[in-house]
Structure 1
Amino acid sequence: MTECELNDPVTIDPLALAPEDRAWVEATLDTLSVEGKVGQLFALSSIGDDLAEISRHCALGVGGIHRFPGHDLKAAWEATRAAIQGSRIPPLISGDIEGGTVSQAFATAVPNQMGLAACADEDLSRRISAIVLREARRQGFNWTFSPVVDINRNFRNPVVGTRSYGSDMATILREAGIMTEVLQAGGIATCAKHWPGDGIDDRDQHLVTSVNGLSMDAWHASFGEIYRTMFAKGVMSVMSAHIALPAAFPADAGAGRFVPASVSKRLNLELLRGELGFKGLIVSDATPMGGLTGWQERAEAVPAVIENGCDMFLFSPDPGGDYRHMMDGLRRGALSEQRLEDAVRMILTLKARLGLHRMALDEWVPPLEEGTTRLSTPESEAVAAEANARAITLVKDTQDLLPLDPARHRRVVLLAEEGWNFISGALPRSLDVFCEDMRQAGFDLRMYDAETPPAPEDTDLVVYLIGQEATASLSHIYLDWTALHGGARKAMKRFSREIPTLMISLGQPYYLYDAPDVRTYINGYSALPSVQSALVERLLGKAPFTGVSPVDPFCGEEQLRY
């Protein structure tokens, strides 16, 4: 691709409207007061299924409500319908539909993005996307903050990891393109994130303003190409993150080179819209995040998000206070009337593009069938189980440990870390399925006891089982040997030269970096129950390992290969 081609703007308009829909947008815009327009700028979170919270959001006249439903389908159904019925203008109902243990308790537990990429099967990806579409539409979603199109280059980045499709651009574009095509054809807008690109820094923008440190040539050849390709595929929205791209600014700009994209005119209006030609909606990343709150005081940041190119303002620790900050910013000129008008027009345009203004309530959120407790079907569960199983990747077995045999490896000591997830409403985390299946297979499985550590005379196999997927506020990825072994001095002990040792990650794919002595290592990408069952089958040799790693699990270190 030539430099000219890299810089040619994409001309596709993903939000192009028929004349009658455009007329609805303009007529609706004309009916809104200034206060009503300001309300439309906000997409606020709904934690659990709190009807009082939803009522407060609707009273502000917000443009969107982001749902973190709880584990009860009826309560979730009622809350979403309340959000729609309580809104004068049809709201955008968004969600973080990324799979893995972020999946909802009453929906099909599909792989996370990295697990799906490890299957390396376009048809399977389409079938998974079709399941996501059907179940998300039934819950009333019309907007998903996915796909994640970040490039997972820095293996120490804690928040990209399993939420990404990996480090290979072709894989990212294939998988993100499939998801966008399937979901948008079915009426759910997708959102490419996190502009201008995460996965280069090893820090988390939830905690600090992180930095994409690529040169502009390198950025155009990587993230720039990814976003241009997504625009050509018609992605309807982009999430502007609290990530800096200093190479886009003059060398003498000082601290200004490290402005978060979410409040950067240069990155949103000039680069994203101007140079790359994006014509869809730009939403900020969550505004309570440290990458924004550490950059600018709240009263300045709130209007700056919209003035500098975002069309929607995501989340708030104090919705009423942020609404007042936005109104005050408009009065004192920190937010221009033109940017307010342009942003609200874009929000209404996305709603019209999705046909929300023509949608009856029962079409939007179908009636809840009597006795229904789950959205999933046996067919969707079977497809998800197939994908979760096929993703499991044998990274190495240089000691020829596999397959396991209860006769040779009967006495097993398990050191387990279940992990946790930042997302409200995520599935409970447990490694119980693995433990039960191992016992059913004939293994004498006991949990590690720091006071009586395993020894060759009482242990045939040591298994480390780590369940931590990528999530916000982890800070760093590493094996916490002190926690695993029960003390700082015990952390120094290694069993692998005296007892056969197996390490399994049901989450982040990079733990070999902290365990170079481990000679048999497996990545499963998530701790979903179907992954755990399929893992035991493969450990016993009853099914082959088929996963293809979407990243370098050896972290560029030859030492880890042996």
Structure 2
Amino acid sequence: MMDRPAVSLDHLRLAPFNLDDEAVAWVANMAAGLDADARLMQLFVIGMHGPAANWSGDEIKRLRPGGVMRFFSADGMAEATLLDRLQDEADVPLLVSADLEGSRMSLPFATTVPNPLALAAVDDVTLTREISRVMADEARAVGVNWSYTPVLDINAAFRSAIVATRGYGSDVDRIETHAMAQADAFQRAGVAACVKHWPGEGFDDRDQHLLTTVNSLSMEEWETRFGRLYRSAIAGGVMSVMSAHIALPAFVREGDPQAGIEAFRPASVSRGLTTELLRGRLGFNGLIVSDASEMAGVTSFMATAEAKVEMLRAGCDMILFSQDMDRDLKAIKSALADGTLSEDRVDEALMRVLGLKAALGLHKDRREPATDRLARLRRPEAQAAASSGFQRAPTLVKDVEGLFPISSERHRRVLLITGGIVSPIHGAPILLALPDLMRKRGFKVDVYESGTPVPTGDYDLVLYALGEETLLTRGRIFLDWLRLMGDFRLAMRRTWHEVPTAMISFGYPYYLYDAPRMPAYVNAYCTSDEMQEAVLDCMMGLRAFEGRSPVDPFCGLEDARF
């Protein structure tokens, strides 16, 4: 039990918590009833993988974490039943989090919706708000109450494999408009929003899953971009911020021009960036959660257990994930014992964790039966909103030879060259639906066999179809001609002088950098079957290409436009 002087809870009465007397009393009483281990465990979010049926709940009951992040299966009823049971068995209500990012990151039992870059291409804030409401309502139906979105990163470095389709593009105005609409829609639906990745990703073309990335902006430049976005989110009442494994040397060097390696300390373990800049200068009062705590963006900077302590010292209120809870608790207890981590800092973090739970109404949760909640999944109006997004997003970047529209009469014989849908999360490449969709419309489609000759004389159309959305540990996304074609000689072969040729990207929007002479190019942003069908409609002239590019698809290359 806590036997130290009571911590002031006045900040919980302020935005973004806005707790009333009853909720503040619940926070105080709940904190007072926690033993030493339980109060520390409230500062952790535990990952839950695998089929719902395999989760007895015993591990969660033993650990008593503040939250869980569920990596969902396609069985919505099993997932809702599991989360309901965990909540019923928890002494303190659980924060249940997910990455609601759309497309392949849509909940597998819910409506598949466009990802942020596709919504930015549509550029209709009313649609973004509606899609966000659908995502939040369906997430709440299964038991999710916290999303690590929206993404405020800026698509400035086109080689960035970790921003691209997860964010709303490169224009700050467009990012602000859509991200704030998403955050507001989430929180109105009872899902706490979490803006990320603090202090801002997108000016480094590397991936913080693999190393500490660097925001290279001056503070003046940072303020006009990320400062503006995060201030807008804070003013809008966003409940949480994710402190990421990104350095901001300009801020550190304001106080110490000779900071050396400390200028490149990740924000997640930097008191300067997390407490002084985010809490102090920007005035954020909500909950701060670390990004996944065992990513190489932090573990390449310091040892894993030490990093957990440093995250709390820096000002993070919750730590995302632990692969060895006993090790990490031991490290935190040791730091408390030797005074390198203060009890006051732990208490402050605990109050914000409990405060977020109270702000979401978890202290008086009145859940409907799971069957009633799940009836809200995939409703016709949700499907219609998602379909509108998919249909309006495809962007005709260029068509210098007037290829489109195509038809099964003029372009009956099609050679499709594809590496499939590439996703580290989903395992081996996934087959595209596009060949079968085209066959149903009268096209005769052959899928190219890597390493074989390209008999262009046998075809009326060659389509390159690439499916690489932004996902972790890719390092680089680029048009790998050698991998695509399977032979170094074939990698140098180009088809468009002999037969009409086009490229479609169902994801990463920058392949023209590696194929600037491609005569026709379409960006479609999402790998979902729904997007593939929408693109086919556009290519056949059944719908107009309506998307407006939210990034520079020409990567600054003048010749790529021709």
Scaled to the shorter chain, the TM-score interval is: over 0.9
The total of aligned residue pairs comes to 546
Task: Judge conservation of contact 2:214–2:247 (CA < 8 Å) in 1.
Answer: yes
C-alpha RMSD of the superposition: 1.9
Counterpart position of 2:404: 402
Residues of 1 paired with 2:282 and 2:53: CA distance? 40
Give the fraction of aligned pairs with identical amino acids, expressed as a percent.
44
Aligned match of 1:119 in 114, 117, 122?
Answer: 122
SS of residue in 2 equivalent to 1:155 = coil
Counterpart position of 2:9: none
Counterpart position of 2:259: 253
Task: Judge conservation of contact 1:108–1:375 (CA < 8 Å) in 2.
Answer: yes
What are the residue-to-residue correspondences of 1:157-172 with 2, within 5 Å? Answer: 157-172=160-175
Task: Judge conservation of contact 2:415–2:463 (CA < 8 Å) in 1.
Answer: yes
> What per-residue deviation string (whole Å, max 9, x for no partner) do you get for residues 393-438 of structure 1?
11110111111122222211111122333447x9994312x11121
Q: CA deviation at 1:350?
A: 0.5
Q: CA deviation at 1:557?
A: 0.9
Q: CA deviation at 1:451?
A: 5.4
In the alignment, is residue 352 of structure 1 matched against residue 358 of structure 2?
Answer: yes
Residues of 2 paired with 1:108 and 1:412: CA distance? 31
Whichever residue aligns with residue 15 of structure 1, its letter is F
Q: CA deviation at 1:70?
A: 1.0
Q: CA deviation at 1:77?
A: 1.5
Q: In 2 relative to 1, CA 151–543 (structure 1 residues): closer, same or farther, beyond 3 Å?
A: same
Q: In 2 relative to 1, CA 247–202 (structure 1 residues): closer, same or farther, beyond 3 Å?
A: same
Whichever residue aligns with residue 263 of structure 1, its letter is V
Residues of 2 paired with 1:38 and 1:406: CA distance? 63
Query: Displaced runs of 4+ in structure 1, greater than 6 A?
Result: none
Q: CA deviation at 1:74?
A: 2.3
SS of residue in 2 equivalent to 1:489 = helix
SS of residue in 1 equivalent to 2:371 = coil
Residues of 2 paired with 1:256 and 1:54: CA distance? 41
Residues of 2 paired with 1:96 and 1:377: CA distance? 21
Aligned match of 2:17 in 15, 18, 21?
Answer: 15
Counterpart position of 1:321: 327
Aligned match of 1:107 in 95, 110, 119?
Answer: 110
Residues of 2 paired with 1:420 and 1:53: CA distance? 33
> What per-residue deviation string (whole Å, max 9, x for no partner) do you get for residues 86-121 of structure 1?
310011111101101111221000000111111111
In the alignment, is residue 42 of structure 1 matched against residue 44 of structure 2?
Answer: yes
In the alignment, is residue 343 of structure 1 matched against residue 349 of structure 2?
Answer: yes
Q: Where does structure 2 lack aligned partners over 5 or more consecutive residues?
A: 1-12
Q: In 2 relative to 1, CA 52–124 (structure 1 residues): closer, same or farther, beyond 3 Å?
A: closer
Counterpart position of 2:5: none
Whichever residue aligns with residue 542 of structure 2, its letter is K
In the alignment, is residue 75 of structure 1 matched against residue 83 of structure 2?
Answer: no
Residues of 2 paired with 1:346 and 1:450: CA distance? 54
Counterpart position of 2:269: 263
Counterpart position of 2:484: 484
User: Relative to structure 2, which stretch is displaced further, 229-238 or 490-499?
Assistant: 490-499
Aligned match of 2:67 in 54, 57, 64?
Answer: 64
Counterpart position of 2:241: 238
> What per-residue deviation string (whole Å, max 9, x for no partner) do you get for residues 295-322 of structure 1?
1112311111101110000011122322
Residues of 2 paired with 1:77 and 1:93: CA distance? 11
Q: In 2 relative to 1, CA 539–233 (structure 1 residues): closer, same or farther, beyond 3 Å?
A: same
Structure 1-normalised TM-score? 0.94
Q: Where does structure 1 lack aligned partners over 5 or more consecutive residues?
A: 1-10
What are the residue-to-residue correspondences of 1:102-501 with 2, within 5 Å? Answer: 102-249=105-252, 250-360=256-366, 362-363=367-368, 366-368=369-371, 375-423=377-425, 429-432=430-433, 434-450=434-450, 452-501=452-501
> What per-residue deviation string (whole Å, max 9, x for no partner) do you get for residues 459-491 of structure 1?
221100001100000000101111111122321
Task: Judge conservation of contact 1:243–1:261 (CA < 8 Å) in 2.
Answer: yes
User: Relative to structure 2, which stretch is displaced further, 173-182 or 320-329?
Assistant: 320-329
> What per-residue deviation string (whole Å, max 9, x for no partner) do you get for residues 213-261 of structure 1?
1111101111011000110111000000000001111221100100000
Structure 2-normalised TM-score? 0.94
SS of residue in 1 equivalent to 2:339 = coil
Task: Judge conservation of contact 2:463–2:503 (CA < 8 Å) in 1.
Answer: yes
Counterpart position of 2:35: 33
Whichever residue aligns with residue 295 of structure 2, its letter is M
Q: CA deviation at 1:199?
A: 0.5
Q: CA deviation at 1:450?
A: 4.4
Q: CA deviation at 1:328?
A: 2.2
Residues of 2 paired with 1:146 and 1:310: CA distance? 17
SS of residue in 1 equivalent to 2:350 = helix
Q: CA deviation at 1:449?
A: 3.2
SS of residue in 2 equivalent to 1:357 = helix
User: Relative to structure 2, which stretch is displaced further, 80-89 or 207-216?
Assistant: 80-89
Residues of 2 paired with 1:367 and 1:139: CA distance? 7
> What per-residue deviation string (whole Å, max 9, x for no partner) do you get for residues 115-151 of structure 1?
1111111221122122112101101111000000101
SS of residue in 2 equivalent to 1:266 = helix
SS of residue in 1 equivalent to 2:378 = coil
SS of residue in 2 equivalent to 1:419 = strand
Whichever residue aligns with residue 431 of structure 1, its letter is L
Highest relative contact order (Cα 8 Å, sep 6+), 1 or 2?
Answer: 1
Task: Judge conservation of contact 1:410–1:442 (CA < 8 Å) in 2.
Answer: yes
Q: In 2 relative to 1, CA 374–512 (structure 1 residues): closer, same or farther, beyond 3 Å?
A: farther
Task: Judge conservation of contact 1:55–1:86 (CA < 8 Å) in 2.
Answer: no
Q: CA deviation at 1:382?
A: 1.9
Whichever residue aligns with residue 312 of structure 1, its letter is M
